[in-house]
Structure 1
């Protein structure tokens, strides 16, 4: 086999001992008689084999010249140190060894038959370029410092990965340009300095096989497992997205396995909550705590015995259990930290406090299924890595705090991504003013010349339905109380019982005939202040105890009253809002991709939303009215889909409710600003305020000359004031009719004047529905209701 059969390199590597033999030629003239005789003997050994000076690429000659090579390298590879030193003679950056120490051979043997030795941190693509930099230094006198430590990763007989650092001795090599070598000019050198990753450029300046390397290198190899393990701990801890990396814990356990020289150890973490004196799990992919053993949270006093509690939490010292079974017997199973480990099949463990000074942050848990392999002696190896774990936990806590703040900002404020750039800009200006020592003021956030869009899906008759639910619950509760009082009056005919029964009858009559806004409060006060103390007294009577207990069990703990029908109502409203909001949010993601715009939605008795679109929001010179028209059509289509989604889920509700949809069209651009006190955007100026007035009042408006509301179930109502808006939306309706979203019964109506608002009109058109997702037929509202009822 030839050395260059599968190798592309700027150098032809010839194994040669010429430079080493030159050193022996000098030693042959030494005044030291012993050295001179030995040097002459080595030169005589080489003399019959000129290839050893001239160099060769045929690897089979390594076996042919095995004995003379061993003799020539005897001083470099002392037999006395062969069992201790890890040493090889080789070709640079290649796995070609022709003289190795006994210890190196033993390491490779223990690694296994399928092990392939490879420099861990030398990418194959870089080998060519690194070789070129060596030529620049050796042949052209440049001082390119590319020295970096190279490593081997070699598993031991237990399969534990150990790390070995390689130091090259290149004293006995020479590099000679061939006729194919191109002379490197200063201009070439300058160009190469800025193009390390451009392999084609390096190959152009240093063509393959254009230089000859004659010689060999001696690799001195050192076991640096402890140092590298500590470095790997640091690297693992500073990596991003540790909690979501499913391989993080596995790799981290491998690092500790190498550091401690123990196979099959596992690593866990628990976080200390000082306020509650509890341990909590670290949430993340594959992360666990052996002390908690799948519990979400646990008081420290129930996890640790008194001595271990003091050792870990007070003294902040390592706590080790070398033999879990032994100590379980000694403690008679009463030490909770030992019992929980034994239940998980753990035989030995190290618990290390993660402490920042006097502040305990958490506990590092290292466990093994083998007894005595983890103990108080090798626990000391953790001393060097604990500072990095502490730093990582502190950084993680800060990141978590920042994440919590980000979630709060995202979920609890109205700072939409489309306008976040403006807030960021003003925040930077605010911080810069503070740093200059000036009185910083957060500037007003406003956007001018933007177009508003507003839509709502309102739950029809929600107030009446809630009143009905309240009437039902209060009637049930009052009747239950009346039954108990009737029994009490029969037992003990006190006039006060009769008076309470009379009062209950009045309440029940009023609930049937004319339920008022304050009826609920009056009855609740009566039950709380008059009936509850009375029932507490009556519960002492054996005859009434059972019925009173049954009554109490029916009371909702939070509401303090019967809450069956109102709960059904509240759950129905919540389900409707959740479904509608979820669909709208999902569709919004697509809309933002079409063109960025501001969006916000609110859940009330239904879901309403605001959108603003315009140049000042996008910050780019790209706005065109076509994007406004597109968003209007998108809004109309999505609201049709939301209505459909509602009526497909309506049969699942315990209370039957209808919805009505409305879109408000505002023709003129306006200005909005962020109100810091309310944490939301609002219109700016008196003229723009008209838009907000219309928004708040229009859904209650009547069609002119009737007592019929403009918003109706089964219909889409589009409210506007300008003729051009009417024509625009009639085009959209025609398009959606072709898509079977809307029916053909288009009607244009005038609205009665509102306070300070006149001249409004509405386009009304019936929606078409599907019974379910699979259904391909289309139904009007009345058709759909008939289908549902049947």
Structure 2
């Protein structure tokens, strides 16, 4: 143990900020209180220490830190009481300091060496905040906690990052200050604080201004000593660093660089390097890209050695058939004969090379490379340090695979997807004008914006009712199945394997079953996944290897968690099948139906897949300049829109018998009678509205799907109904004529509702029509039979309406 006094803040007057005294009075009071209740053998130890402190009267009063070196044996007794009995002072970072940490007067050898060895110039997280300000926050944190039960200013801990001079790796330490043995006295009446005002100051980082004015430090006195402890948190900080890389960076080079650096810190070996190789596929064949989506030593070496791609791909394909960990501590000629790919690594200067398979949802997502330019033995200690990072690397690989696939789709859409014939002519003109400008001296370098003016918009949405709720239910049902199968497997193992850890896992499983019902976010689901992948699956693999009699039990469980076929994914598979069935049938119906519309007058039809299907239709003179436009075509397409919604409602209802999970749809139309301008946005490859007024149309479209009927909690959109949202009463009048016609024709029920709707953000004055869909009876025709005179009258009425 060390009694040398260490000045923490050499040039700052920390003690000037508040009156304080170093003493052992709080410890004495603590020991006396413990002796009143402590009945075990500890009481003798407490009594012995108390007598020793009281014997040295100077320790009962305020004392200078420099004087305490005379009482080393008493300080060692205090150390013994305040630290775990088995703690080794050569490994424990522990010290005693003045009440406001300024001088350390007693420390373990490990702490003293840590303080002396860590040169401030190697500190990583240099903080520009003045030391005095940090110390004031520390002081007020203790005061607010003691006197006002308020903790918000600052935790009594600091994360300290330091570059190790030997390994050149960053190490992270958590420095904590325990003020249990610090008494605080206040002179006079304690002031009242306005915590609402204080909270505002906190938000502006000006809380010290308020506190110094309203809670002066001159009225406080600190008495006692503080305990400082340091913990190496490099492992946890490295894992957190990988998580941050997934969240805060793109999933390409930047994230890979951060993850590799975190893995090096995690390993604790500065000579190790890491490579990341996700398995990317094109047409189900592996491809490799080391520029954006991976950083692999093997790929780099193969390219540098001009290794033929076919040879390289065959090696990786062979590995993919039987993925396993490969450890080569030193590459030699015999190993190169067995595995030719080692030759290119040796030529690149690699001496040691290991490969670890990385999984995502039990599917092989890629490999993690561990290599060095000198001989390295990858042992259990290193693997145990890397194991917590493997699920996160699997997630990174999955993101890279999805990002790669999205980029493929983006280029595919950009270069190969054909435009609709109704608007392609205008894009052709824009391209021709652009090419002309390129061949001339024109300064125009950007292609012109394709715009259609004075277009009449129509919007429709077929939504799957309560899709989010259904997804949550399916997920929770599947997790229940998974955990119950796991419980059964663990119970079966327990009959032959005698391990207390099985009981602990059983407890965890039952606890997770209780928690599943209250899942509020994806975070809990991620925590459950980490429990399974970090604790359960490694445990099952080890038990299977060491106890062959459990192999069948383990294999049966892993069959349950296969996404494509396992029972633990059955509910989600059923839901996706049902949703896909609805969306596919609705999409196909719309595609066929809108093709007939184009025959009457060209229009732009854009369909979007959400949880259901949405579509935009634009019609107007500029779509077909050579063909005169008349409002008759607009009225015809509006009547088609209403009719098609009936057919879609009937179609989705007829599919219920084919769905593994019963789902219903809602049908919504937004009526907008004013013409708008639309332009093709080159950056997003879609049409969008032009002008501030027209943007209101887009705003309403995006918000009406969840609108409520005014004064109620009822959603406007309901199964078996068609909802039509509008602003203008004239719009409603036109559609009411269509509804009347379709009721007579047997499409709609005689239950039309005229409704006022709740205000949406930035949108007020919305109204709606809602009417029920009449379904066909398979046994009898429910269509009303009209007399010839009635039918003729209705036909004349519709014809007249279309002409107007």
State TM-score, norm by structure 1: 0.47
